[in-house]
Amino acid sequence: MVSAYENSKWEPVKWKSNMHCAVKIPDENQWQRGQIIRMVTDTLVEVLLYDVGVELVVNINCLRELQENLKTMGRLSLECSLVDIRPAGGSDKWTATACDCLSLYLTGAVATIVIQVENSTTWPLPVKIFCRDKEGGCVDVSKYLIKRGLALRETRTNKLYNSHSLSQKSLEIPLVQGESVVTKCIKINSDPDKRAADILSEHEVSEFKEKILEPRTTGCYKPPAIPNQKVFEAVVSCIGDDGTIFVVPKLSEFELIKMMNEIQSNLKCLGLLEPYFWRKGEACAVRGSDTLWYRGKVMEVIGGTIRVQYLDHGFTEKIPQCHLYPILLYPDTPQLCIPCQLYNTIPVGNVWQPDAVELLQELLSKREVEVHIMKPTDYNKKYEEERWEIRFEELLLPETETPVLPPYLSSPLPPPGELYAVQVKHVVSPSEVYICLDSVDNCNLVKQHDDTVDSGVSWEPEPESLEEALGRFNVDVETFRPLTDFRTEMPCLAEYDDGVWYRAKIVAIKEFNPLAVLVQFVDYGSTEKLTINRLCQIPLHLMQYPARAIKVLLAGFKPPLRDTGKARIPYCPKWSMEALWAMIDCLQGKQLYASSMAQVPQQIVTLYEDERYPVHMSLVEMGLADQDE
């Protein structure tokens, strides 16, 4: 490749997707065969170097037409996929964390690849990969990802032939048959004629379903059963952060051990779990860090992790969602761990401090104690409240309704040809920024303009400025109603990182569990992903002020034709990161002026420094932009 293209000269070619080409690697004296994936811009293309499996964005100056004799040789790299695993968390896409972990572990490593199919035409090639760890042991990469919580095992099974299968999507559960355990798993052999599956009777399935679990249940586990005696012996299982002492009565120890053994023996494997949205208080089965299954309860949903409580032991732990399953194990068996509090004992400051909890843990953990019941708790009443915790009355209250408001008024720019002072509030790319008028007089032009617009809402004149109004509302922001309508462009108040609430509007919903919303601060142009506790309804009084931030495109320059080897802006790859930082330096802390070039369909302006020097000329002089006549 080097000898064929080292002295070649660039010639204009109309490149298209899927075309084969020779690619010069930027900053390296290397040439690789490649295939065009897509055209990013007129001068940038995304290519696949199929001999090494690398994708990158290069300038068209780095491309040459691939000679015919170089097309006859097959690809020098194999596209493989790990079998028997799938992404964790219920998604069908691998997370960036999993990809980074795999890249860190395998890049440059010498590995053994075992092809899993006889027919090599399957693509990508299903394989198992083994490599050496630091101790020299052989590691299965698939099992390594599972151990890290980044993947789940993909079971190859047949479905039950009848409608009594215990889940909606290939839920694989072992069944009890007398004293033995029969597991509905398929043995995979190299000879297709020898494949077999145990078929279970309808009666066995129903009997096991009633005894062991209820899939996809919406109920909860029964409350702890308090011994009838006023005094009983117990073993302390753990101490909670709030000073709660969890004990297992000695009379329940054998039952707990027996139940745990049955769960581990019967719950060999679970099938594919559909995308599932967990909620606080939901009962579940938990696969702990010791790989054992426990009965559990969701205490809190925190992004991709969930804080759960092991009901029969009292422990709480934050674990990935992939280690939970929405089923009830032994729903008729009460919780075997009883939460207790020390009678007539109040911690200093009414809060249990870490050193006090540590002292309790040192004194009581795993110890046999004698428990005297001084004031019993009615767990049955609490249990009924948990079972019927979903109420709909609050949805009908007037304070939960968010009124639909008109969009923010827009701030007009002076007519073309007029020079006016501006401030740059937010930089999206070197050629796209948000500005606001620097003059109070110019801001007042908005009110004169919008008085003629019938928005359907009558405003009463207020003498105070927007800053004064926001300052006054920030004092009483706790009294504002929460936002319950998340439609696009919905006006609201949003809390910024500095703890101050500003005017904003909804751009899009980014996450659902927990709910996170992308908002734009209309007076600054910047965007932020916020949880709903940082959003509230906007007072009608604040809607009378026009949105100060105006989105404009900058005229007079364009991305350079020759701009190779630089890191690109991810959301705007036609510009380099170096150009972005240079533009920010040109705009920061300077008195700027603007002149409108066009206002329809987009606002296009030229920015000047000291009323005469275009700010983009600094980028042109540095070679980070070309002039656009």
| Average pLDDT, integer, range 143-165 | 60
Same fold, 80-153 and 412-453+550-629: yes
Residue 513: band (very low, low, confident or very high) from pLDDT cuts 50, 70, 90? low
Whether residue 559 has pLDDT greater than 60? yes
Pairwise CA distance, residues 262 & 472, whole Å? 63
Q: How many CB atoms lie within 10 A of CB 176?
A: 16
Between 72-76, 163-167, 451-455, the lowest mean confidence (pLDDT) is in: 163-167
Record the tokens describing residue 135, joined without a space.
Answer: 């101790």
- In DSSP terms, 297 is beta-bridged to 283, 309
Per-residue three-class SS string for 430-477: CCEEEEEECCHHHHHHHHHHHCCCCCCCCCCCCCCCHHHHHHHHHHCH
What was the pLDDT predicted at 565?
65
What was the pLDDT predicted at 434?
93
DSSP strand pairing (568-569 vs 501-512): unpaired
DSSP strand pairing (80-82 vs 125-132): parallel
Pairwise CA distance, residues 625 & 438, whole Å? 27
Record the tokens describing residue 454, joined without a space.
Answer: 């019938």
Whether residue 607 has pLDDT greater than 80? yes
Share of the chain above pLDDT 70, in %: 78
Q: Specify the CATH class of 80-153 in words.
A: mainly beta
Residue (of 507, 508, 503) closest to 538 by Cα position = 503
Q: Candidates 1.10.10.10, 3.90.1150.10, 2.30.30.140, 3.90.1300.10; correct CATH number of 2-71?
A: 2.30.30.140
Q: Tell me how far CA of residue 155 lies from CA of 120, 172, 205, 270, 490, in angstroms.
A: 22, 9, 20, 9, 45
Whether residue 533 has pLDDT greater than 70? yes
What was the pLDDT predicted at 164?
34
Pairwise CA distance, residues 309 & 317, whole Å? 7
Pairwise CA distance, residues 267 & 296, whole Å? 15
Domain 231-387: which topology?
Answer: SH3 type barrels. (2.30.30)
Type and span of the H or E element at 586: helix 577-587
178-217 b/e (C-beta count within 10 Å ≥ 16 → b): eeeeeebbeeeeeeeeeeeeeebeeeebeebbeebbbbee
Between 78 and 155, whose confidence is greater? Answer: 78
Pairwise CA distance, residues 561 & 538, whole Å? 46
* Pair 169, 147: CB distance under 8 Å: no
| Average pLDDT, integer, range 196-216 | 39
Between 464 and 237, whose confidence is greater? Answer: 237
Q: Tell me how far CA of residue 525 lies from CA of 533, 572, 598, in angstroms.
A: 21, 17, 20
- In DSSP terms, 614 is beta-bridged to 608
Whether residue 209 has pLDDT greater than 50? no
Q: How many residues are listed for the chain in this entry?
A: 629
Pairwise CA distance, residues 576 & 559, whole Å? 9
The burial of 15, by beta-carbon neighbours within 10 Å (0-12 exposed, 13-18 middle, 19 or more buried), is given as middle
Record the tokens describing residue 261, joined without a space.
Answer: 């053994």
Pairwise CA distance, residues 192 & 551, whole Å? 64
Type and span of the H or E element at 360: helix 354-364
* Pair 289, 298: CB distance under 8 Å: no
What was the pLDDT predicted at 388?
47
Residue 159: band (very low, low, confident or very high) from pLDDT cuts 50, 70, 90? very low
What was the pLDDT predicted at 11?
85
The burial of 125, by beta-carbon neighbours within 10 Å (0-12 exposed, 13-18 middle, 19 or more buried), is given as middle
Whether residue 289 has pLDDT greater than 70? yes
Whether residue 65 has pLDDT greater than 80? yes
Whether residue 444 has pLDDT greater than 50? no
Q: Tell me how far CA of residue 32 lies from CA of 114, 258, 467, in angstroms.
A: 28, 63, 58
- In DSSP terms, 504 is beta-bridged to 492, 521
Mean pLDDT of the chain: 77
Between 29-43, 154-168, 570-584, the lowest mean confidence (pLDDT) is in: 154-168
What was the pLDDT predicted at 467?
87
What are the E-state strand segments in 250-303? 283-287, 293-302
Between 165 and 593, whose confidence is greater? Answer: 593
| Average pLDDT, integer, range 85-107 | 80
Residue 174: CA atoms inside 13 Å, Cβ hemisphere, count?
16
| Average pLDDT, integer, range 80-107 | 81
Pairwise CA distance, residues 75 & 81, whole Å? 17
Phi, psi of 494, deg, nearest 5: -130, 145
Whether residue 564 has pLDDT greater than 70? no
Record the tokens describing residue 158, joined without a space.
Answer: 């047949």
Residue 211: band (very low, low, confident or very high) from pLDDT cuts 50, 70, 90? very low
Chain position carrying tokens 């590691």? 139
Residue (of 389, 371, 374) closest to 343 by Cα position = 374
Chain position carrying tokens 């298209």? 16
The burial of 580, by beta-carbon neighbours within 10 Å (0-12 exposed, 13-18 middle, 19 or more buried), is given as buried
- In DSSP terms, 491 is beta-bridged to 505
Record the tokens describing residue 464, joined without a space.
Answer: 């105070």
Per-residue pLDDT tens digits for 615-626: 888 888 888 888
* Pair 80, 89: CB distance under 8 Å: no
Pairwise CA distance, residues 311 & 215, whole Å? 18
Per-residue pLDDT tens digits for 225-256: 888 888 999 999 999 888 899 999 998 889 99
* Pair 166, 202: CB distance under 8 Å: no
Q: What's the one-letter identity of residue 525?
A: G
The burial of 63, by beta-carbon neighbours within 10 Å (0-12 exposed, 13-18 middle, 19 or more buried), is given as buried
What was the pLDDT predicted at 272?
53
Per-residue three-class SS string for 505-547: EEEEEEEECCEEEEEEECCCCCEEEEEHHHEECCCHHHHHCCE
Q: Where are the domains positioned within the chain? A: 2-71, 80-153, 231-387, 412-453+550-629
Whether residue 382 has pLDDT greater than 60? no
Whether residue 551 has pLDDT greater than 70? yes
Q: Specify the CATH class of 412-453+550-629 in words.
A: mainly beta
What was the pLDDT predicted at 183?
31
Residue 354: band (very low, low, confident or very high) from pLDDT cuts 50, 70, 90? confident
| Average pLDDT, integer, range 423-433 | 91
Which residues make Cβ contacts (< 8 Å) with residue 230, sequence separation at least 6?
A: 372, 373
| Average pLDDT, integer, range 457-471 | 70
DSSP strand pairing (550-554 vs 604-609): parallel
Q: How many CB atoms lie within 10 A of CB 552?
A: 24
Between 150-164, 191-205, 321-335, 429-443, the lowest mean confidence (pLDDT) is in: 191-205
Whether residue 197 has pLDDT greater than 70? no
Q: Tell me how far CA of residue 42 lies from CA of 33, 164, 274, in angstroms.
A: 21, 59, 42
* Pair 64, 8: CB distance under 8 Å: yes
Record the tokens describing residue 481, joined without a space.
Answer: 């109603």
Quote helix, strand, coil % in the chain, to nearest 5.
25, 30, 45
